[in-house]
Amino acid sequence: MIERLFRVSERGSTIPRELRGGLVTFMAMAYIIVLNPLILGSVTATDPSAKTDALGGILPLAQVAAVTALVAGVMTILFGVLANYPFAIATGLGINTLLAVTIAPLMSWPEAMGLVVINGFIIVILAATGFRTAVFNAVPTELKTAIAVGIGAFIAMIGLVDSGFVRRLPDAANTTVPVGLGIDGSIASWPTFVFVLGLLIVGVLVARGVRAGILIGVVLNTIIAIVVEALTRVGPGGPDNPGGWSLAVPELPSQIVGMPDLSLVGEVSFGAFARLDILTVVLLIFTLVLANFFDAMGTLTGLGRQAGLNDAQDKLPNVGRALVVEGAGAVAGGAASSSSNTLFVESAAGIAEGARTGLANVLTGLLFLLAMFFTPLYAIVPVEAAAPALVVVGALMFRQITSIELDDLRTAIPVFLTVVVMPFTYSIANGIGAGFISYVLLAATTGRARQVHPLMWVVAVLFVGYFGVGPLRELLG
């Protein structure tokens, strides 16, 4: 029955392989349950680093953790069953940062989440009417490949930053260089040591073609991290302990089970339209939609290609349905205050492990639902132990660059911009925007305007608007 429902052998996979892939993807993504609360939530409204909204309101940490796991679990299972692809869904780092930094300070948290819900409905409508699929199919192959390569660079960057290997220089450093190696140019902190050792372990296992190499690597890294913490007691990181663990401290927990607090579910309001002028609200929604729309599109292309699931025209079969379910993730994420849920590039870890069907997603989703009750347990895996998997998977995705013909600069420049802007701006959508605009512009100025699909023109113009939103808002006061 499971075999028929998910067409496991038709995709050249086996049930154990799917389950192994689902577990690896969960291990690569579980950090979001710890990280999302730190981005959106606060302990108290009076904390110096509290993420207060315009009314001084906050989202409590434990409640954000619970809804993050809930929505990721439900949407990942739904996507697995309805779209039958091993692409897991959770709260996207791009949009939650946008919400915390730009949107919530202008309104209340429920109103900010209301905008996420509207963004989700727009995306679902664009997907259901076929517009999303039409754009998906209008993108030239070399740009689709560049998106996949750029995502590889982006996920490696996420791993390098989350592990503390790459760090932001202090604002007081008075230099134009934004990031550096470790602390003051040195990787001599225990958590970063665990990451570097873990990177070597995962790299060797994967390069030698060891089955379940990524999973074995992350488990080994976690054990090493627990031993290192037991011996050194470096503790949690922070301004007065820069050499500490960046999120979870790898300790055997004293308590294992707890009931999740789901009171944020339904805490949504559409009052932003009454609080702010309509143009501001429309521009904010426009920004959310473009970022969401193309992040998912790039991720789908990259993951589909990595899994070998795209057809001869480099199209993912039944992509329309996948895009509708993905859009529903934005609605669900907004409605539960976990922020927009989207396809996660980290699914590449499970695909590298062999996952090819939605069955893998069902396991990943169930583990997210289970994590709601075992929050102390998943917190054992420190980011420093999971991040090596992100970097190695980034390398696997990056290899696709060899299939792009780079002799013609009209291709090489947009491809390059797509690949570098993603990690450097920490956003898949920004990279796609830079690539699309430069592709259309170079074609138009070198006599190839007619060869560009009309939808590419439309999207490039929309991206000009996307990048112009900030300057435009300033201009209009």
**Smallest distance, ligand GUN to C-beta of residue 96, A:** 8
Give which of 55, 117, 98 is closest to 336, Cα–Cα.
117
Q: How many residues sit in the footprint of ligand GUN (CB under 6 A)? A: 11
Strands (E), 19-164: 89-91
C-alpha distances (whole Å) from 227 to each of 68, 223, 230, 432, 463 are 29, 6, 5, 42, 49
- Asked if 343 touches ligand GUN (CB under 6 A), the answer is yes
Question: Quick check: 428 binds ligand GUN (CB under 6 A)?
Answer: yes
Establish if 344 lies at the interface with ligand GUN (CB under 6 A). yes
If binding is defined by CB under 6 A, does position 383 make contact with ligand GUN? Answer: no
What is the nearest approach in angstroms of ligand GUN to the Cβ of residue 343?
Answer: 6
Distance of closest approach, residue 477 Cβ to ligand GUN, in angstroms = 31
**H or E element: which one contains 466?**
helix 454-475
Question: Using the rule CB under 6 A, is 162 a contact of ligand GUN?
Answer: no
- Distance (Å) of CA 53 to CA 4, 62, 106, 448: 49, 18, 7, 48
C-beta of 170: minimal distance to ligand GUN in Å? 25
Of 341, 342, 361, 418, the one binding ligand GUN (CB under 6 A) is 342
Please tell me the distance from the alpha carbon of residue 347 to that of residue 86, in angstroms, as a whole number: 7
Question: Does residue 94 touch ligand GUN according to CB under 6 A?
Answer: yes
Q: Which is nearer to ligand GUN, 229 or 295 (CB)?
A: 295
How large is the C-alpha radius of gyration of the chain? 21
Residue 229 found at the interface with ligand GUN (CB under 6 A): no
| Interface with ligand GUN, residue 299, by CB under 6 A | yes
Q: How far is the CB of 342 from ligand GUN (least distance, A)?
A: 5
Q: Tell me: does residue 361 bind ligand GUN (CB under 6 A).
A: no
Q: Is 345 in the site for ligand GUN (CB under 6 A)?
A: yes
Distance between CA atoms of residues 256 and 252, nearest Å: 9
Q: How far apart are CA 248 and CA 221, in angstroms?
A: 14
Q: Are 217 and 201 in contact (CB under 8 A)?
A: yes
Residue nearest to ligand GUN (CB): 92
- Cα 257 to chain center, whole Å? 27
Query: What count of Cα atoms within 13 Å lies in the side-chain half-sphere of residue 368?
Result: 34
* Residue 346 touching ligand GUN (CB under 6 A): yes
How many C-beta atoms lie closer than 10 Å to residue 82's C-beta?
16
- Between 224 and 316, CB nearer to ligand GUN: 316
Nearer to ligand GUN by C-beta: 344 or 463? 344
Closest approach, Cβ 422 to ligand GUN, in A, equals 10
Residues that bind ligand GUN (CB under 6 A): 92-94, 295, 299, 342-346, 428
